[in-house]
């Protein structure tokens, strides 16, 4: 599996270190996966749709919000 590097500021890193029980790589992977899925949905919707880009962005934001909630729930 390929690896990527993610940069975070010192404050965020310290806060992450307060929760060593969390697999931050998995949290990051899930967030990226959800963003990609939202973008793919947005691409499909805008391809042959009368929705505006703002309409699609609102839908994507809702998907992302729910995805973040799910990650938070799974991380507990």
Whole-number Å distance between alpha carbons of 24 and 28: 6
Burial class of residue 19 (count of CB atoms within 10 Å of its CB; 0-12, 13-18, 19+): exposed
What are the tens digits of pLDDT across the range 39-48?
A: 888 787 777 7
Q: Is the pTM of this model over 0.95?
A: no
Domain spans of the chain, in order of start = 10-75
pLDDT, the chain, mean: 89
42, 56 Cβ separation under 8 angstroms? yes
What are the tens digits of pLDDT across the range 47-71?
A: 777 778 788 788 889 999 988 888 8
Whole-number Å distance between alpha carbons of 29 and 6: 11
């Amino acid at each position: 599996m390929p690896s990527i590097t993610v940069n975070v500021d010192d404050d965020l890193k310290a806060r992450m270190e307060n929760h060593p029980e969390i697999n931050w790589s998995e949290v990051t992977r899930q967030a990226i996966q959800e963003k990609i899925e939202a973008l793919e949905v947005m691409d499909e919707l805008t391809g042959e749709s009368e929705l505006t880009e703002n309409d699609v962005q609102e839908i994507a934001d809702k998907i992302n919000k729910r995805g973040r909630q799910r990650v938070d729930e799974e991380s507990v």
